[in-house]
Structure 1
């Protein structure tokens, strides 16, 4: 065989992704073949292909094209046509790369072929059924009480016992022996792998994004917060409702949960209590997204899903705003996890868990009422694919168990819905039908238009609601959107190749979970929005994680030199850091600025009210003079720590305040010249000053009136 030339050597070094079986000998040493890169378990070794210009273009090209496409869609200067062309090219390049095996998705957990004989405990089932019927009869008058709660919880426990499969019995003897051996020589050894260290870093980053400056971001409430805090106050004062009818009706979970937060953290009836509760709900959702990632692609996909969902601006806003919105993904994530895991391994207890979470979710946010449809879609897709061979009958029973257990948890609301169908369905029907507003056109046309707008929200516009979004920007940042698009293409190609039901389910789950927004037929301008679509961010960020993992892993496994592998790792780190930086800017800078400029500064007004009542005044001697489209006066009192009062005073009522002899303070809109003149006329001894807000354009006037005895000569 001919000796390699210097030119051959240079070619080998420049094309580092190719396998080279020779090195230039040093000092007469024999040239040894290079060892092949060990391929990770469960992954086929891929053939290394020649790639132009020293870079693995078939892998990089789809991502690069998608990034360029999304840059064209970033506000304020958008170009739809170039973006469509680049995304089309990215789809073609990604499809070819996936079909050829250059880009490949991680494999999910292996299927387990265990047959469920569908046996159950008859006595426990009968007890559960009877208890469920009794609790239905007891849940009248829209109230929880010790009797109906006890009967209901007992019936739930009996039903779980009736249908659950036995848990593995621990080997207590072996455990005791191990404990005795450890007690003789107690020692704790802590080991942290590279993956574990990354998990710790990701957890710290997520903790920052979710909890940093929670008291001030966002700072001000809107009227919906006032309604919720009044309901929390009802709970703390002993009104244990099943359905809270204030503000067109809301399910109960958030109010009991927030009351618990207020008691545990001593934060009272406050915005902070709402935000603590919703942030914790968001963290639980992240845990289940992590578990879903592991189910769908292993520990690296789990880590990436946790990271991208944790730092993205969309889930952060939904979790921090203090409204019911995060209860939708809070329902979706665990239901999807137990459903997918249960269908994979045929373990009935997973379906019981899915039913319990689904039932709990139905007590949370109205949008969660679409999740039973997601369960049905999953069971149907599983049943018509080859992975269900020999278990199709069992799959139908498992799906029925999910829905039945969920119904059992839903029983209190079911009783209320039968007694008060109009109130229970009011929020939904005002959007789907013409109860409140006539449909603006043909409902079929509106539906398909809404569907298109909702499906493109990830790349184009997430709606115009400033409370929980940055209006008119894409729901995803540039990098995440490109990875999401890549993941979609790869999932579609893999489904066409392997026909695995789980890939199709992941794709179809997104439009299903967008339906609460799409079905806003009477108010199509409300679609899309980030609150009624929040459940969809669960599969969205799973697909983002699959796309990122496919990119990094495919690159890593196709380069053989250490320098090349370091370059791949560096590329992944750069993408991750850029994503963190972008979402930090979106949430902590742009969203904060836009929110502060859009919301009235009731927090500052509340601080002024608190200071006045702690010095010379009382809560009853503080007045906020009403003015069109100004502050919700209830929020001023809530921020001051007085949720039980409303300091609102209309201008024509100003003269009535003379009966109060104590010191008084009036808060006035600077544009309300009529109220200013009236105050000066009635209280010539008073004085006025302007409060300079932290936010430009949010100043307000303070008019102080001394106590009557203080004004005497």
Structure 2
């Protein structure tokens, strides 16, 4: 009888064989104890592939892996501006992939092993009484959501129906009374013991670093608001005036979640209806994404992968910038991460509860940022891929029923917005449809070009939108960009060899989550866009973490204990330090400066308004004369604490100011000769002065015409 090979063993572990499982007894090998100590110290939920004792038979120093990493880093560095050398980068990456192929061949660099599937049978029972009580409450709530308004009554009915549906379908071995009793017992304990391990310290260090990167200089970076911020603040102001809308129709329409969240943040932190409230609110939303990034990495591989993913997601320039700009952008990855986590875990564990939670997060995401509307397609693709692969054998009927449960809960959560969409289909969809445009004869060609540009955004060019990117550079840094391509290659090869649906899904999900950007056929210059492709960052960073975990595992296990650990620590420190330095520079230097170049200095005009109010006790006689492609005349009022006023007075209407008594101030652009001449004619006793901006950028000065 032939001895089983490593491939036979892996196929057995992945469920690719119909026979009995193959196992290698641990005691049959003289593997270094350090390998198992490392596993316990770092903590894994499933042993990475390199930890299998059979892999140690090949032995040897992993120089091929280190060479592949070095060449990939050099290749990604060549793609960085200002060098931006495509030819050199492609050659270096080609060489890196050759070295990677040899590293893979000699089992040096492999991805962590997928977690084992579980196959519990769902009895498909549910509690009928709460289910049939929930139905009328849901229908009445749907009816009362008419008129685009949240009320206490319809919110109560909506949440009550949700509670009853959860009660009906949720599976639990512990009753609610037992859970409450256990919590009561816990809090009644006189002493609580906290166990602080090396892993705990590592998690705390990573968390502190991430908090620094996400909240440092939140008041200064980015520096100034622009028109979209004015629209958001007006929407939040509307809520304070009792307009509790489901969908805010100003400026082609916005989902409601950010508006209510911003008002909550403004009141909790005392920041008022301000630019800071918007930025602090979205920065916190970005931070709320990170626990699920960790859980997703842990679900796909192990907790090391989860922590690595959390670290890179926390410090990376791409998710950091879209989280601190003060718009709805971070709501896309915020709900992609938990939806994917519960979906993947629900499929692996055949867990009805995870499908319920995936449906809830799917529905919530639809209230956040319109690009998330692609997520139902992503869910269907995931289920479809699972059903056509052999991993679903014996569970297909059950998984379809679980999908129906997921759909039910997403519809319940979507109910208010669904009612608005039925009443106002054009208002609900105009923003997305305006980007797609009509289906002309060039549409397919434009879409193909958009797909190509979208695929290149991670390693080559993330677009030219100054609001949320550093124009003309890759979306990823040197380290994450190199590891991403390596991870994609390893995932692709593993799928070809093992045929596991999840590997293929991770690769396809990136393209799917980019569709809100790549479908911008009417405005192809807006693609790629880091905001509308923000959901893809979740999977991209996950692949980065998978690749790095595989490398570090190889380094720790391929040489004798001291040298292996030393090299692993050295590579880790180098990659971490390089990433920290580059991402700090990208966010707090390059992005901050580029943003200042594009934004107007409305804060300084706000200071003029505040000074006038402090002197004269009113602002009714302060105006800003609009000029094409200049400052939004609503924003200075935001800085002055007047979020609901537009200070605009057009040149042709300047004479209307004569009806106002008392001192007056007019602010104009320096080259607006028409307005200045009209003011001089209307107010011959007025005085003209130039406000010299603190910004060294040309065009940021403005004129102040004062009337005593």
Task: Compute the displacement of 1:96 (Å).
Answer: 3.6
Q: Which residue of 1 aligns with 2:335?
A: 331
Q: 1:703 to 1:518 in 2, by over 3 A?
A: closer
CA contact (8 A) 2:688 2:706 kept: no
The equivalent residue for 1:229 is 233
Which residue of 2 is the match for residue 404 of structure 1?
Answer: 408
CA contact (8 A) 1:370 1:516 kept: yes
Find the residue that maps to 1:649 and give its secondary structure.
coil
Q: CA deviation at 1:561?
A: 4.0
Q: Distance in 1 between matches of 2:617 and 2:514?
A: 51
Q: Aligned pair 1:494/2:494, yes or no?
A: yes
Structure 1 pair 297–617 and aligned structure 2 pair: CA distance change class (3 A):
same
Instruction: Please report how far the alpha carbon of residue 616 of structure 1 lies from its aligned counterpart in structure 2 after TM superposition.
Output: 2.5
CA distance in 2, matches of 1:232, 1:179: 40
Q: Could you tell me which residue of structure 1 aligns to residue 325 of structure 2?
A: 321
Residue of structure 2 equivalent to 1:292 = 296
Q: Structure 2 CA distance, aligned partners of 1:158 and 1:510?
A: 35
Distance 1:493 1:182, change over 3 A: same
The answer to whether the 8 A contact 1:665-1:702 is kept is no
Matched, 1:598 2:598: yes
| 1:48 Cα deviation after fit | 6.0
Q: Report the Cα distance in structure 2 between the residues aligned to 1:460 and 1:351, rounded to whole angstroms.
A: 37
Residue 86 of structure 2 corresponds to residue 83 of structure 1: no
1:383, CA displacement in angstroms? 1.8
Q: In the superposition, relative to structure 1, how do residues 173 and 291 fare at CA in structure 2: closer, same or farther (>3 Å)?
A: closer
- Determine if the alignment matches structure 1 residue 424 to structure 2 residue 421: no
Counterpart in the other structure of 1:248: 252
Aligned mates of 2:113, 2:512 — CA distance in 1 = 24
Cα separation, 2, equivalents of 1:281 and 1:468: 16
Aligned-residue offset at 1:395: 0.8
Q: Describe the SS at the equivalent of 1:690.
A: strand
Provide the secondary structure at the position in 2 that maps to 1:615: helix
1:641-698 Cα distance to aligned partner (Å, 9 max, x none): 1112111112233333233222222212111223233333433433333222222224
* Structure 2: distance between partners of 1:528 and 1:670: 35
Provide the residue aligned with 2:365 in structure 1. Answer: 361
Q: Report the alpha carbon displacement of residue 180 of structure 1 after superposing the two structures with TM.
A: 11
| Separation in structure 2 between the aligned mates of residue 205 and residue 574 of structure 1, nearest angstrom | 16
Distance 1:35 1:219, change over 3 A: closer
Pair 1:391 & 2:395 matched: yes
Contact 1:686 1:703 in 2 (8 A): no
Q: Which residue of 1 aligns with 2:19?
A: none
- SS of the equivalent of 1:619 reads coil
Distance 1:118 1:179 in 2: 33
Picking from 110, 126, 148, the partner of 1:120 is 126
Task: Judge conservation of contact 1:690–1:699 (CA < 8 Å) in 2.
Answer: no
Distance 1:652 1:579 in 2: 54
Query: For 1:271-286, what aligned pairs fall within 5 Å after superposition?
Result: 271-286=275-290
Aligned mate of 2:311, from 307, 310, 332: 307
Matched, 1:168 2:174: yes
In 1, distance between residues paired with 2:444 and 2:285?
A: 36
Q: Is 1:47 aligned to 2:48, yes or no?
A: no
CA contact (8 A) 2:666 2:705 kept: yes
Which residue pairs with 2:665 in the alignment? Answer: 665
1:560-571 correspondence to structure 2 within 5 Å: 560-571=560-571
* Inter-partner Cα distance in structure 1 for 2:339 and 2:276: 28
Q: Distance in 1 between matches of 2:173 and 2:283?
A: 33
3-state SS of the aligned residue for 2:220?
A: coil
Paired position in structure 2 for 1:136: 142
Aligned to 1:553: 553
CA gap of 1:416–1:703, structure 2 versus 1, over 3 A, is same
Deviations 1:495-545 (A, max 9, x none): 222222222211111011011111111111111100110000000101111
Partner SS, residue 38 of structure 1: helix
Q: Map 1:698-709 onto structure 2 (within 5 A).
A: 698-707=699-708
1:535 aligned onto 2:541: no
Distance 1:404 1:622, change over 3 A: same
Whole-angstrom distance in 2 between the partners of 1:626 and 1:580: 42
RMSD of Structure 2 on Structure 1 (CA): 2.3
The range that moved more, 88-97 or 172-181, is 172-181
Question: How far apart, CA to CA, are the structure 2 residues paired with 1:173 and 1:526?
Answer: 52
Residue of 347, 351, 362 corresponding to 1:343:
347
- Are residues 57 and 414 of structure 1, via their aligned partners in 2, closer, same or farther at CA, if it must alter by over 3 Å? same
TM-score (norm. length: structure 1): 0.89
Match of 2:74 in 1: 68
**Of the candidates 374, 379, 387, which is equivalent to residue 370 of structure 1?**
374
Q: CA deviation at 1:232?
A: 0.7
Write the distance in 2 (CA, Å) between the matches of 1:74 and 1:121. 58
Q: Where do 5+ consecutive residues of structure 1 fail to align?
A: 1-32, 708-713
Task: Write the distance in 1 (CA, Å) between the matches of 2:111 and 2:293.
Answer: 18
- The Cα of 1:307 is off from its aligned counterpart by 0.5
Matched residue SS, 1:559:
coil
Aligned equivalents of 2:408 and 2:599: distance in 1?
43
| Higher alpha-carbon deviation: 301-310 or 131-140 | 131-140
Per-residue displacement from partner, 1:411-449 (whole Å, max 9, x unpaired)? 111121111111111011112223xxx85x522222221
Bigger CA drift: 362-371 or 71-80? 71-80
- Give the superposition deviation at 1:314: 0.5
Are the aligned partners of 2:332 and 2:371 in contact in 1 as well (CA < 8 Å)? yes
Q: CA deviation at 1:147?
A: 2.2
Report the TM-score, using the length of structure 2 for normalisation. Answer: 0.90
Q: CA deviation at 1:131?
A: 2.2
**Structure 1 partner of 2:455:** 455
For the residues of structure 2 that align with 1:365 and 1:351, how far apart are their CA atoms? 22
Q: Which whole-Å deviations, capped at 9, do the CAs of 1:368-398 have from their partners, x for residues lacking one? A: 1110111111111222223222211111111
Q: Greater CA deviation, 558-567 or 298-307?
A: 558-567
Question: Any conservation in 1 of the 2:670–2:703 contact (CA below 8 Å)?
Answer: no
Count, aligned residues: 665
What residue is the counterpart of 1:9 in the other structure? none
CA shift, 1:50, in A, is: 7.0
Counterpart of 1:18 in structure 2 is none
Q: Which residue of 1 aligns with 2:103?
A: 97
Larger Rg: 1
